[in-house]
């Protein structure tokens, strides 16, 4: 195959430059991104590769020669005394290793020390403090000239307007402005309520909020800031971070401000924090490629539990003298790289929209997609949540859509791309009957979710109902998992929960991968499950809106299933935390003849013990707790039992009513939410001390 002609290469380079420039304008100037990060990165990498191979194609106006977009004309320009550089990207482990090898070669030493930080998905900003007072805030812009957003930045409440203690006469702090996930959701809810355009993601929302002409609007958006570097004086000292001293002396005057004395990125972050500037706690000082890999993997696992979005981590040579030895190229420093995560968003086409039937009969529209890789996983289906969401987002069959996946969360369709809509795109129509059992699909007045009316006669609900019934917090039948339930239902051996207790050894041994020992173990677990408590039994029935806590409250209030079955809605409303919606759902379940028959069959098989005793103490009466993570010695059930024995309540979700969050190892989003809401956080020792003070044990 012959090499492309010079004019073809020049045309290709011009096309890439034009496309990138258009995307830059849409993102930086219009605050309306038209491509995902992955698509943009792919274009930029293609242009870089082309210009590296053919330097004569590199032009002064090429986007590879700058680090951002042009500033908006309606915001005052803000020149940077020292250019705000971007970072080179490492998209794979091999590229991260290549970065480490270049650093080793440049410094002439093995296993350099790095400072590892998060790569925030926000907007780079520069803050100039004169004599410790915030004088100017500017966006990065094109790296040389940004936009003056001082009035807007002053509304960020976590940002000090005056720095305490000794500081240099002129100090420029650089960092990231971002919007937390919860504030982003609140903002988009407000946009929907006012029929305004929603933001595509928190980064886009932060950029749009910071560049408002009316600072009062910015103040309502709840932005946050994290500092990560500084420039001292007029920029004559260093290009991106603090020098180890103004003169490069490794033994600086101890009377100088801490930010000036800092000889490393790690020390600088500590010094910035001492000045009252927000600095992210998720950072590490590591050695060599092994340390870089460990930090990347650790943060990748925690990524979805963070209260804000990140799209990777940043590796920086820690020592400032070593940074200066390595230097920078036109666009980026040689001593730092951004190790990016696989993109969590991608574009693809909707091939069709089907519906899934959940355990409670909930009908969920699901988009069938042209397979696309998102977050390192090939995605071919994504949830559309409900009929109203399909209408609101205007998702049609044939549309090009943006799909998002975060961790193990089911992928979802964020939005359509209307300008790419084909002429034959079709709107989604909710089916009138269940695709599994043929029963009518109904949607109650005022409800968002449509449901199959088939109940336990619907195989889709039947399987999920059986799994719920056998779950750990219900009847806890060890070994009765999804694959086995599929076999039992598909073979017609079990069609309702009571049928589980009619299984025998010969029947089970006929199933795939079910030997005599496995069958015997399952039958032993079923035998143990014949004896249970009323609260577990009520929870196992899968009554809508009745979770573990409500089941426990019902068991304690009524004492027996017979008393509960005879209760009116008015009597149900006397149970703590049971409102009209829950009371109606309970009554509807109890009034259904098929449900009554199933419960009677179960009660003829099971031994349902009296409800757990009421709290021995009321010292914590009405106090709400949430448990998260793994405690050192107590299981969650044990911790919950001790809290309830002291009169407290254990909830599954953090809200403003929560008094304490008890956090153990690997605590996730619940801990982050508690910190955001200012809720007291206890470890196991703190919980035990509280229980001891209140008479619990």
State the pLDDT at residue 32.
62
Q: Assess if residue 446 is contained within a domain.
A: no
The string over 296-326, giving b where at least 16 C-beta atoms fall within 10 Å of a residue's C-beta and e elsewhere, is beebbebbbbbebbbbbbbbbbbbbebbbeb
More confident: 412 or 289: 289
Q: Phi, psi at residue 315, to the nearest 5°?
A: -105, 125
CATH of the domain at 415: 2.40.50.140
> Average pLDDT of 380-399?
91
**Domain stop point among 320, 340, 360:** 340
Cβ pair 124, 139 in contact under 8 A: yes
Q: Report the distance separating Cα 588 and Cα 570, nearest Å.
A: 14
Helices first, then strands: H and E counts in the chain: 25, 26
User: Does residue 53 form part of some domain?
Assistant: yes
* Model confidence at 190: pLDDT above 60: yes
8 Å CB contact between 430 and 355: yes
Tell me whether residue 215 is in a domain: yes
Q: Are 89 and 340 in contact (CB under 8 A)?
A: yes
Domains held by the chain: number: 6
Structural domain ending residue among the three candidates 500, 529, 558: 529
The enclosing domain of 160 has a CATH number of: 3.30.470.30
44 lies in a domain?
yes
Task: Give pLDDT, residue 246.
Answer: 32
Tell me the two tokens of residue 237.
């000292």
Question: Which band of pLDDT confidence, cut at 50, 70 and 90, is reported for residue 27?
Answer: low
- d(CA 598, CA 41) in angstroms, rounded, equals 58
3 state DSSP class of 666: coil
Helix, strand, or coil (residue 376): coil
**Together in a domain, 420 and 290:** no
User: Can you say whether the dihedral through the CA atoms of 511, 513, 518, 524 is positive or negative?
Assistant: negative
**pLDDT tens-digit series, residues 514-561:** 888 889 999 999 999 999 999 999 999 988 788 888 898 899 899 999
DSSP annotation of 694 reads T
Q: Could you tell me the two tokens for 668?
A: 């996730």
Q: Answer for the pair 132, 166: CB distance below 8 angstroms, yes or no.
A: no
CATH of the domain at 557: 1.10.150.20
Q: Are 491 and 365 part of one and the same domain?
A: no
- 310 shares its domain with 274: yes
529: which residues sit within 8 A by CB, 6+ positions away?
A: 470, 475, 476, 477, 606
Neighbouring CB atoms inside 10 A of 165's CB total 12
DSSP state at residue 118: E
Residue 616 lies in a domain: no
Do 394 and 290 share a structural domain?
A: no
Task: Please tell me whether residues 487 and 545 are part of one structural domain.
Answer: no
Query: Residue 500's Cα: distance from chain center in Å?
Result: 38
Quick check: 622 pLDDT over 80? no
* 484 and 418 inside one domain: no
Highest mean pLDDT among 50-54, 143-147, 225-229: 225-229
What CA–CA distance (Å, rounded) separates 611 from 644?
A: 13
* 410: Cβ contacts below 8 Å, ≥ 6 apart: 382, 383
Residues 303 and 380 grouped into a single domain: no
User: Which residues, listed in sequence order, are joined to residue 377 by a DSSP beta bridge?
Assistant: 374
Is 614 domain-assigned? no
Q: What is the CATH number of the domain that holds 58?
A: 1.10.287.610
Structural domain including 543 reads 533-609
Measuring CA to CA, how many Å separate 492 from each of 482, 488, 489, 507, 601? Answer: 15, 6, 5, 11, 18
Q: Looking up tokens 């790419």, which residue turns up?
A: 420
Asked whether residue 83 is domain-assigned, the answer is no
**pLDDT digits over 429-482, tens only?**
999 999 988 888 888 777 788 988 776 668 788 888 899 999 988 999 999 988
How far apart CA 373 and CA 369 sit, in angstroms, is 11
3-state secondary structure 395-452: CEECCEEEEECCCCCCCEEEEECHHHCCCCCEECCCCCECCCCCCEEECCCCCCCCEE
Last residue of a domain, one of 529, 556, 579: 529
Query: Is residue 407 pLDDT above 70, yes or no?
Result: no
**Model confidence pLDDT, tens digit, residues 476-495:** 999 998 889 989 988 889 98
Q: Name the residues annotated as catalytic.
A: 119
* Beta carbons within 8 Å of 382's beta carbon, 6+ residues apart: 366, 367, 369, 403, 405, 410, 411, 412, 413
Same domain, 602 and 631: no
Quick check: 169 pLDDT over 80? Answer: yes
Residue with tokens 């050192």: 632
604 alpha carbon, distance to own chain's centre: 46
Q: Are residues 185 and 269 in the same domain?
A: yes
Quote the pTM value: 0.50
Which tokens belong to 357? 């039937």
Q: Please check whether residue 626 is in contact with residue 578, taking contact to mean a CB–CB distance below 8 angstroms.
A: no
Residues 192 and 315 in one domain: yes
pLDDT of residue 577: 74
pLDDT at site 33: 64
Domain identity same for 503 and 643: no
CA angle 412, 416, 420 (to 5 degrees): 140
* Percentage of the chain modeled with pLDDT above 70: 89
In a domain, 447, yes or no: no
Question: 236 pLDDT exceeds 80?
Answer: no
257 and 301 inside one domain: yes
Write down the pLDDT at residue 243.
Answer: 34
Question: What mean pLDDT is predicted for residues 639-657?
Answer: 82
pLDDT in tens, 244-289: 333 334 445 555 677 778 899 999 999 999 888 999 999 999 999 9
CA distances from 657 to 174, 579, 624, 677, 683 (A): 37, 16, 7, 10, 19
Q: Which residue has the higher pLDDT, 1 or 584?
A: 584
């Amino acid at each position: 195959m012959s090499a492309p002609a010079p004019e073809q290469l020049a045309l290709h380079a011009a096309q890439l430059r034009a496309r990138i420039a258009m995307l830059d304008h849409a993102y930086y100037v219009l605050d309306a991104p038209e491509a995902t990060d992955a698509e943009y990165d792919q274009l930029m990498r293609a242009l870089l590769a082309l210009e590296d191979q053919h330097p004569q194609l590199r032009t002064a106006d090429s986007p590879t020669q700058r680090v951002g977009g042009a500033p908006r004309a309606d915001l005052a320009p803000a020149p940077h005394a020292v250019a705000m550089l971007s970072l080179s990207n490492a998209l794979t482990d091999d590229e991260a290793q290549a970065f480490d090898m270049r650093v080793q070669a440049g410094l002439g030493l093995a296993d350099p020390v790095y400072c590892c930080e998060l790569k925030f998905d926000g907007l780079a900003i520069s803050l100039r403090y004169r004599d410790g007072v915030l004088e100017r805030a500017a966006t990065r812009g094109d790296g040389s000239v940004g936009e003056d957003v001082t009035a807007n930045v002053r509304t960020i409440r976590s940002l000090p307007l005056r720095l305490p203690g000794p500081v240099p006469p002129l100090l420029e702090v650089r960092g990231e402005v971002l919007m937390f996930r919860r504030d982003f959701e609140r903002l988009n809810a407000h946009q929907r309520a006012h029929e305004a355009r929603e933001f595509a993601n928190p980064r886009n929302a932060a950029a749009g909020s910071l560049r408002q002409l009316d600072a009062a609007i910015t103040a309502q958006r709840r932005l946050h800031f994290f500092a990560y570097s500084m420039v001292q004086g007029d920029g004559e000292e260093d290009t991106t971070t603090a020098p180890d001293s103004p003169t490069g002396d490794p033994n600086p005057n101890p009377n100088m401000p801490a930010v000036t004395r800092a000889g490393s990125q790690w020390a600088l972050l500590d010094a910035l924090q001492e000045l009252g500037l927000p600095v992210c706690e998720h950072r590490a000082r590591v050695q060599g490629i092994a340390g870089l890999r460990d930090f990347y993997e650790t943060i990748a696992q925690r990524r979805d539990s963070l209260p804000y979005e990140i799209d990777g981590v940043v590796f920086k040579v820690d020592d400032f003298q070593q940074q200066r030895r390595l230097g920078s190229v036109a666009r980026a420093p040689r001593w730092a790289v951004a190790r990016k995560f696989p993109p969590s968003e991608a574009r693809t086409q909707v091939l069709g929209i089907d519906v899934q039937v959940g355990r409670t009969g909930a009908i969920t529209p699901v988009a069938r997609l042209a397979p696309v890789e998102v977050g390192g996983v090939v995605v071919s289906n994504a949830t559309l949540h409900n009929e109203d969401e399909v209408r609101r987002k205007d998702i049609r069959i044939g549309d090009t859509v943006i799909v998002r996946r975060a961790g193990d969360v089911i992928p979802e369709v964020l939005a359509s791309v209307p300008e790419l809509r084909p002429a034959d795109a079709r709107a989604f129509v909710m089916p009138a009957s269940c695709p599994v059992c043929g029963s009518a699909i109904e949607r109650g007045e005022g409800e968002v979710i449509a449901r199959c009316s088939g109940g336990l006669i619907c195989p889709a609900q039947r399987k999920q109902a059986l799994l719920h019934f056998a779950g750990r917090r219900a009847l806890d039948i060890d070994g009765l998992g999804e694959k086995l339930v599929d076999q039992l239902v598909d073979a017609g051996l079990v069609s309702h929960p009571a049928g589980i207790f009619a299984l025998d050894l010969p029947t089970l041994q006929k199933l795939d991968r079910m030997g005599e020992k496995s069958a015997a173990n399952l039958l032993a677990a079923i035998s143990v499950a014949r004896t249970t408590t009323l609260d577990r039994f009520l929870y196992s029935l899968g009554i809508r809106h009745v979770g573990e806590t409500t089941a426990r409250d019902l068991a304690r209030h009524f004492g027996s299933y017979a008393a509960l079955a005879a209760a009116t809605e008015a009597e149900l409303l006397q149970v703590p935390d049971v409102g009209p919606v829950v009371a109606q759902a309970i009554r509807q379940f109890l009034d259904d003849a098929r449900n009554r028959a199933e419960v009677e069959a179960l009660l003829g098989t099971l031994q349902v013990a009296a409800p757990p005793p009421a709290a021995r103490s009321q010292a914590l009466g009405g106090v709400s707790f949430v448990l998260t993570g793994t405690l050192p010695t107590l299981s969650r059930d044990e911790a919950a039992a001790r809290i309830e024995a002291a009169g407290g309540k254990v909830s599954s979700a953090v809200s403003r009513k929560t008094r304490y969050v008890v956090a153990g190892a690997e605590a996730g989003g619940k801990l982050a939410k508690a910190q955001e809401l200012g809720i007291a956080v206890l470890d196991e020792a703190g919980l035990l001390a509280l229980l001891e003070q209140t008479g619990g044990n």
